[in-house]
Amino acid sequence: MIGDALNFIVNGHEAKTGGVMVGGIDQVLELAARQLEVTVLALAVSLLLALPVGLLLGHYGRGEFIAVSAGNAGRAIPELALIALMAAAVGVGLFNLVVALAILGIPPILTNTFVGIRQVDRASVEAARGMGMTEGAVIRKVELPLAIPTIMGGVRTATINIVATATIAPLAGILTLGDFIISRNVYGDSGVLAGAILVALMALLLEAALAGVQWALTSPGLKLNRT
């Protein structure tokens, strides 16, 4: 069965519905690119909205209830219902899908950014102010660098949620790798297994890439502390 799945990825086979060839490396790459595209777009939207809000709320110590509840509430959203309702009530298409996925990405980034900024040692912030830094400089040069590990934790959770949910994007009319899994009547069991392998690989690679980004963004001082 695994051999069939690998063969499906490399060469493809005839569709169960007859006639056309499905699978093969060309379709795999096309669907993988689509899944990566919607994931990156949704993550970018989540970051653009959640990061500044989290930074400001954290910096001024306001809205703790909202910032923390957002993370809890976000976890309770059933991904399948969100995508299905978006497709049925608002319509299918890339824009709607990205909005739905960003709804899943915003809560963990917002909560972790807020918590990360609040956890920064107040003495460091006072020292920065004492040196004559503006509030903006305090956020950029002191709070943000010290909160990077926590913020990146939120970004990684968001990414895992988004890439996992992008798998059911075919329900919203965007064909990602999940199509191999969902449309079993077209691709057959070898296609389903191939889809599962590919989706798992994509999630693990994204997670590894983000671990690398986190390492690169973490200030050398914090790395020294950890070892």
Partner 1 sequence: MPDPTAPILALPAGRLAPLADVSSDFFRDRSGGGCIAENKLFCPGWVADNWDRYVDPTLQHLVLVGSAVAAGFLIAFGMAVLAHRHRWLASPFLAGTGVLYTIPSIAFFFLLLPITGRGALTAIIALTAFNLQIIFRNVTTGLAGVPAGVTEAARGIGMTPGQMLWRVELPLALPEIIAGLRIATVSTVALATLAVFANGGGLGTEIVVGANITFKTGIIVAGSIAILMAILFDGVLLLIGRLLSPWQRAALA
Q: Which residues bind partner 1 (CB under 8 A)?
A: 1-2, 72, 75-82, 84-85, 87-89, 160, 163-164, 167-168, 170-171, 178-179, 181-186, 189, 192-193, 195-197, 199-200, 203-204, 207
Nearer to partner 1, 22 or 128 (CB): 22
Nearer to partner 1, 132 or 226 (CB): 226
Q: How many residues does the chain have?
A: 227
Q: How far is the CB of 63 from partner 1 (least distance, A)?
A: 21
Residue 13's φ and ψ, nearest 5 degrees, are -150, 175
Q: How far is the CB of 26 from partner 1 (least distance, A)?
A: 19
- Nearest-angstrom CA–CA distance, 71 and 213: 23
At residue 64, what is the residue type? E
Can you point out the beta strands (E) in the chain?
13-14, 21-22
- Nearest-angstrom CA–CA distance, 68 and 74: 10
From the centroid of its chain, how far is CA 73? 17
Q: Tell which residue, 32, 24, 26, has the closest CA to residue 5.
A: 24
Nearer to partner 1, 144 or 206 (CB): 206
Q: Tell which residue, 57, 60, 81, has the closest CA to residue 70.
A: 57
What would the DSSP string read from start to end of 52-89? HHHHHHHHHT--HHHHHHHHHHHHHS-HHHHHHHIIII
Q: How far is the CB of 201 from partner 1 (least distance, A)?
A: 9
Nearer to partner 1, 128 or 163 (CB): 163
Nearer to partner 1, 41 or 162 (CB): 162
Q: How far is the CB of 95 from partner 1 (least distance, A)?
A: 18
Q: How far is the CB of 158 from partner 1 (least distance, A)?
A: 13
Nearer to partner 1, 98 or 162 (CB): 162
Q: How far is the CB of 156 from partner 1 (least distance, A)?
A: 9
